[in-house]
A and B are shown apart, each in its own frame.
Chain A
Amino acid sequence: MKRVGEVQSSNYLLAKFQNLVDWVVNSSRANSLWPMPFGTACCAIEFMATAASRYDFARFGMERQAFSPRQADVLICAGRLPLKLAPVIRRIYDQMPQPKWVISMGACASTGGVFDNYAMVQGIDTIVPVDVYVPGCPPRPEGLLYGILLLHKKIKGESLFDAVRRRDEQPLDEKGLRLPPETIDEISEPFGNSVHQFRSS
């Protein structure tokens, strides 16, 4: 039975050693995730509730909230992101040291939510790569905790010895975009009730 993230090699002892190293490194990373809260809206209230004593994500090693991107591991975008803030969150993401992860908390951060208008980014994945999307409007603290635990699972599946699973820096391209323009247009398409509103209305 192969565990998630387990290295397979013809050399049994080498594979065992690499798995041990991965286990140590990934456990350390997953169990001391320092969050960089990027709270812009009501999701930030639920984020604060998650950090407070009743739900207390310090139980999962997130004791210290890093209000500096230089000392953070996971960027939690809690709330809607206006286009005016897009270069700000991108710079914060760029300033975070590797390895780094991003949680998109709530409907607005993940898709633009009800704000399908001229001012709002339609999903922060057009700006920064996102690891975990937490649905909800806003998500309850249990939802955010579940997202954090999913991120733990993802981190524990990474391997230092596997180039495919290693996370590389993803700089912007020469146009200054993270994704091709047609991809951005596609994932920014209206959906749900928004399809009944026309661009001209």
Chain B
Amino acid sequence: MTSLPPIPGALRTVVARDGDTIVYVAREHLLDAMTWLKTTPGQDFNYLVDVTAVEYRDRERPLEVVYFLRSLERRADIRIKVELNPADELVVDSVYHLWHGADWLEREVFDMFGITFRGHPDLRRILMWETYAEGYPLRKSFPLRGRFSRAEQVRQALNANPEAHYSMEELSIAEAGGDLPDDMRERLRRGERGVIPEPPAPTP
């Protein structure tokens, strides 16, 4: 059991169960608490294992953003949870500037749950393509087979431009090699991400 962070109002609940320590932290104090956990001697949680989110089947229960932290030196684990009311805005502070490994983890949570991470440098979809318009697949309100008809899904997928979905990092590497086609270099310069093409007007 770790000692409590000296941040007034940050701590909501502490649950110690099955050898795990789960700490519920107030949303507005998340960044302070995480900074404290990472930098305080004796805590040293220097490794962010995973960021994920949970939406429960009970509608009255809030969404939870879950952070798995590990201290490699102390061989200790802790789990931090932030509760978000689905009626409010789903926003938490990004921990990217504490652990850069949070980059893709937070993008995945954003992609699947629609939770915005304030301060994330490049928050866009990571698993679904960037022009995906059906919503956030792991939310309980999302239908299993998606919101659009299969034909519309196939149409949008076939009309997607695969080259518009390379990350800026990949494109920069390709550009450094000097083998990037001119049109792609132009798109890279404009920061183009691709658009969902509109279906043509039905012909009478």
Contact = CB atoms under 8 A, between A and B. Distances in A.
Interface of A: 83-84, 86-88, 90-91, 116-119, 121-122, 126-127, 172, 174-178, 181-182, 184-185, 188, 190, 197-201
Nearest to B142: A118
Given A118-B137, A119-B137, A181-B152, A87 B161 contact: yes
Contacts of A185: 149-151
Top 9 closest pairs, chain A to chain B, by CB: A181-B151, A118-B146, A188-B150, A83-B157, A86-B157, A184-B151, A176-B159, A199-B143, A176-B158
B157 A175 contact: no
Given A174-B200, A177-B151, A185-B151, A90 B158 contact: yes
A117 B145 contact: yes
A200 B200 contact: no
Given A87-B159, A181-B149, A185-B150, 11 more contacts: A83-B153, A86-B160, A118-B143, A119-B137, A127-B154, A176-B155, A177-B154, A177-B158, A184-B151, A199-B145, A200-B143
B181 interface: no
Interface in B130-188: 134, 137, 142-146, 149-162
Contacts of A190: 145
Contacts of A176: 155, 158-159, 197
A182 B151 contact: yes
B144 A126 contact: no
B72 interface: no
A127 B158 contact: yes
B129 interface: yes
A190 B146 CA distance: 13
Nearest to A121: B154
A94 to B, nearest CB: 11
Given A175-B199, A177-B151, A185-B149, A197 B157 contact: no
A84 B199 contact: no
Interface of B is mostly: loop
Contact of B145 (A91, A118, A184): A118
A116 B145 CA distance: 7
Contact of B155 (A119, A175, A198): A175
Contacts of A200: 143
B15 interface: no
Contacts of A177: 151, 154-155, 158
A83 B150 CA distance: 10
A99 B134 CA distance: 38
A182 B150 CA distance: 9
B154 A172 contact: no
A200 B153 CA distance: 17
Given A199-B143, A199-B145, A201-B143, A84 B128 contact: yes
A29 to B, nearest CB: 28
Among A87, A127, A172, A188, max chain B CB count under 10 A is at A87
B129 to A, nearest CB: 6
Contacts of A91: 162
Nearest to B146: A118
Contacts of A90: 158
